[in-house]
Structure 1
Amino acid sequence: MKQTSIKIGDKTYPLYKTMRAQVDLERSAFKQKDIKNGAIEAVLYALYCLVKGACIREKIEFDMDFETFVDNVEPNALEKLAELNDDAGDNPDKKKE
């Protein structure tokens, strides 16, 4: 499983895929097509779910709501998400080199 980290405010948090993140995202109003189409709110919510899920797994306190997350996340957050998703094992259409 590919892992990275992300800075939110003055703290660094783990960022990787978890089942918790997937469940939280599926329970939300956002759909996969929203994320794939680059709808910024949907993409940021997916990122929020990933960080929250990773923190739960690692028992790291993460009591931030989505609005606070959006206000404090670094501008390079979308690059971090792309880095996390840029894994041939997660994308069957991408060929390993």
Structure 2
Amino acid sequence: MSVSVARVPTQSASRYLQQLAKHWSHKMEVAFTTEEGTITFPNGARLVMRAASDTLDVELSVPDEGDVARMRDVVSSHLDRFAFREAPLTFDWQSAG
């Protein structure tokens, strides 16, 4: 499993977390509150988001056979759509571990 993390600066972290979770809830397994959300993708990847007052922390776990770059792009491009007023958001992806 490959794990990527990013701390995304934004004053609207909770709103974007909830919008993304609701957007994907009809296609994927989703659980969320105003402060934390988890999305499990059909390919086995998993996204965990945590909203703070000035950042959205994201942790993306992708199975070893998965395309990490593509999954990072899927997450960042979807969040950018919800953040159109301040997009593009800054995703400084780092490998965890």
**TM-score with structure 2 setting the length:** 0.32
From the two aligned structures, give the one with the greater strand fraction. 2
From the two aligned structures, give the one with the greater helix fraction. 1
